[in-house]
Amino acid sequence: MKLVLASTSPRRRDLLARIGAVPDRVAAPDIDESPLKAELPRVYALRLAEAKARAVDRAADEVVVAGDTTIALGRRILPPAETVEVQRKLLGLLSGRRHHALSAVCVIGIDGRARIRLADTVVAFKRLTEAEIDRYIDCGEGLGKAGGYAIQGRAEAFVRHLAGSHSGVVGLPLYDTRTLLESAGVALG
């Protein structure tokens, strides 16, 4: 049995290694990640994780794992910070508030069945000053990330409270991922 990671994220690859799962190959899923009209954040994250897993070709002896991390402020899905302007706006929205980091994982076993779980982590940021936002943007680590920050880096100093899966906020909830991989028959180290 071989493991396929349906993601080009180095963070997801590193997280898998923490549970003894080394992908035999990595495949980039090509899907439209636009939210559907009135789609709720939980539904969105679950849909994307499964779509990513199904978007890669799978041989009969391969198990595919894919994930999606969505940052939600209430019912609002926050986009990735593709530009500095978007990142500044996102950090301003998150400043002094709590939000949900919804990390979905999907495993498609050799039986072809999709197994899906969602880790909902509540993250509360301290109130950020303009200078803190500027310094964080200048470090560059939050660009391209959901919600405009990387919790495994400097943004961790902004977190005044976290309840849930830290690895889920990084990009893959390890407890849930391990459980799904084992249920699909993957032996982990």
* Residues annotated catalytic, as ranges: 68
Whether the CB-CB separation of 122 and 161 falls below 8 Å is answered with: yes
Q: How far apart are CA 143 and CA 151, in angstroms?
A: 12
Residue matched to tokens 């998150």 = 94
Task: Pick the closest to residue 149 from 73, 74, 94, 98 (CA basis).
Answer: 94
Count of Cβ atoms closer than 10 Å to residue 132 Cβ: 16
Q: How far apart are CA 179 and CA 21, in angstroms?
A: 12
Count of Cβ atoms closer than 10 Å to residue 55 Cβ: 15
Count of Cβ atoms closer than 10 Å to residue 78 Cβ: 20
Q: What is the DSSP string of 36-101?
A: PTT--HHHHHHHHHHHHHHTS---TTEEEEEEEEEEEETTEEEPB--SHHHHHHHHHHHTT-EEEE
